[in-house]
Chain A
Amino acid sequence: MRLTLAGVSVDIDGSPIISDIDLVAEPGEFVALIGPNGSGKSTLLRTIYRSLRPVTGVISLDGDDLWKIPARRAARHRAVVTQHGDVDGEFSVEEIVAMGRGPHKRLLDRESGTDRRIIRSCLERVDMVHTADRLFSTLSGGERQRVLVARALAQQAPLLILDEPTNHLDVRAQLGLLDLVRDLGLTLLAALHDLNHAAAYCDRVVVLHQGRVTSSGPPLDTLTPEFIETVFGVRAHIGPHPITGRPHIALASLPPWRPEGASSGEHTKG
């Protein structure tokens, strides 16, 4: 499924958060959305999962205007793993994944045998089938995130949106989750904080800075040390990863006395 954003802008209480965003994710492509805090990554993603209506611009999935089709149909085309994965209440893991079947069900329908098989197979794909009968609230952060991916998979949507999916996960769970989603064979659009994750896993990065797309392209062509310094206000060095041998981005804060780069107020805050 091909995702296209053309001229998308969002204002919140009159002040622009993102402006005039153009973005394309080709079928099967893994696109990373990167940028500093407050650059508008989450806002942009929210327009795609219909949590926030853009003021201008069109978002389309294979030519269908995402905001003009019914919400449930949109949810059969794209699924989302949100940043805050808390679910209130005593739901079992299976019940959480069953929520993802909602867009495929009429309002009073119960889960059919087919639904149950889909729920099982989604849990198997994230390697969490053994937890199906446990309470979601008793899982670890990494396990919960896997279950939430399974819930998104249960929507059987060809496009998967991920908003900082590795937040709050330990390193092993971070890499495990990224391995998992990369191998799903879906079109992926993920907001990522870790530049090395973007470099190692994604086909393309789109860089947001102050609400606008400043650059887009293959990770290592885009994320040059100079570019990283301009956008993120940190020093960067790219060299071979000592374990994998692949290019690795090493980062260090800018010395505060250096006159160029981002304004001094910004990195003392960080």
Chain B
Amino acid sequence: MAEAHEARSRGPHLISGPATGALLTALAVSLAVVCLLAVSIGSVTLPVAAVWRVIGAHLAGQDSPSALDDQIVWDIRTPRVLLAAVGGASLSVAGVVLQALVRNPLADPYILGVSSGGSLGAVLVASLGTGSLGGLGVSGGAFVTSLLTVFVVYLLAQRGGRLLDSRLVLVGVAVGYLCTAATSYVQLQINPTELQGMMFWLMGSVAGASWSDLGLPTAVIAICMTYLLFQARNLNALMAGDDAAAGMGVAVHRLRITLLIIGSLLTAAVVSVVGGVGFIGLMVPHTARFAVGADHRRLLPVSMLLGALFLVAVDLATRTVDRPNELPVGIVTTVLGVPFFLWLLRRRAGRGT
């Protein structure tokens, strides 16, 4: 009997089995192409060949052929594009993690107050001066306060070290509101010129990225993603409920606390550099689920690549649609994301039960 089914029949997902590998390859190639385009296009559009020459020279450790091209490509655009890729990847993976942690499809990376906490830290540093908060810059201040916020949320939401998902969401949302109120208050105290730059950051932007911004978020996504791929099977079990997961041999409480830490780190590392980029963490995981289903062994890598691709593409759009003005990337992700997301929900409702 079993032999008749040995040839894998098509599952219920759009893409399954070996096609997943093809999808991942296609996403990786598209990401590379869009990155290259994004490095070429801007207020000065460079031919791809010139871009290649600069990047090739740096990778080979040689001097660049043109100092001007070098500055545009290597110092300004490349870190910006890479930051968009790392940021999009991190926020998408954080979305997958938090949706599994609170078992709520509406969860996004900001549900635990990470982003509001980070904003508060950023405006505090901006208003008190960079010497405040132990000499941390805006990014450092945002990173520290966003993690502090999650820690407070955890303390308030846990009972005897156990995390209850409904409580976690409620406490996270409440603490988030508190931080937002405090952020608004501090903003009122800032002088208008500083506020202008602050607003751009609060709405999310990868403009002005430098190589030094990339280190922390890149390290965080690399470490977290490795851990998550090892835990993917246990994440699947968690979707069946804590009790069922315990029955399948998962150390549920330890896993959930680790997921909280990972989701927070991923989000904080991005938010502290890029600001609040909305909707990616909700939209990308759902789009990926629509394609490959809920199995985290496939969902995690697909979400990561799709998120990176999406944010690089959106950042490219923000600086080309209204040249030479730039839109904050957070506005565009949301404006593009919401209609697409609503369309996806309708399709799913039509296809489902």
A interface, CB within 8 angstroms of B: 46, 49-51, 70-76, 78-80, 82-84, 86-92, 94-96, 99-100, 102-103, 105, 107-108, 110, 117, 120-121, 124, 129, 132-135, 137-138, 148, 152, 155, 161
Is residue B105 contacting chain A, with contact meaning CB distance below 8 A? yes
- A135-B243 in contact (CB<8A): no
In the bound complex, residues from chain A placing their C-beta under 8 Å from that of B135 are none
Is residue B246 contacting chain A, with contact meaning CB distance below 8 A? yes
In the bound complex, residues from chain B placing their C-beta under 8 Å from that of A103 are 248-249
Q: A92-B13, A108-B229 are in contact. Are A72 and B249 (CB under 8 A)?
A: yes
Q: Which of A74, A92, A110, A120 contacts B249 (CB 8 A)?
A: A74
Q: A86-B241, A103-B248 are in contact. Are A91 and B233 (CB under 8 A)?
A: no
A241 CA to B189 CA, complexed, in Å:
81
A49 CA to B9 CA, complexed, in Å:
34
Shortest Cβ distance from B5 into chain A, in angstroms?
A: 6
What is the 8 Å Cβ interface bit string for chain B, positions 247-288, against chain A (1 contact, 0 not)?
111111000000000000000000000000000000000000
Q: Which of B11, B231, B234, B237 contacts A133 (CB 8 A)?
A: B11
Is residue B239 contacting chain A, with contact meaning CB distance below 8 A? yes
Q: What's the dominant secondary structure at chain B's contact region?
A: loop
Is residue B242 contacting chain A, with contact meaning CB distance below 8 A? yes
- B248-A92 in contact (CB<8A): no
Is residue B294 contacting chain A, with contact meaning CB distance below 8 A? yes
- B229-A91 in contact (CB<8A): no
A119 CA to B2 CA, complexed, in Å:
10
- B12-A133 in contact (CB<8A): yes
- B249-A138 in contact (CB<8A): no
- A135-B12 in contact (CB<8A): yes
Q: Which of A82, A92, A148 contacts B293 (CB 8 A)?
A: A92
A49 CA to B237 CA, complexed, in Å:
14
A92 CA to B8 CA, complexed, in Å:
14
Q: In the A-B complex, list the 8 residue pairs whose CB atoms are closest, starting with the nearest.
A: A75-B249, A89-B294, A80-B247, A72-B249, A51-B246, A103-B249, A49-B247, A82-B243
Query: In chain B between 202 and 248, which residues have their CB closer than 8 angstroms to a CB of chain A?
Result: 229-231, 233-234, 236-237, 239-244, 246-248
Q: A133-B12, A135-B352 are in contact. Are A88 and B246 (CB under 8 A)?
A: no
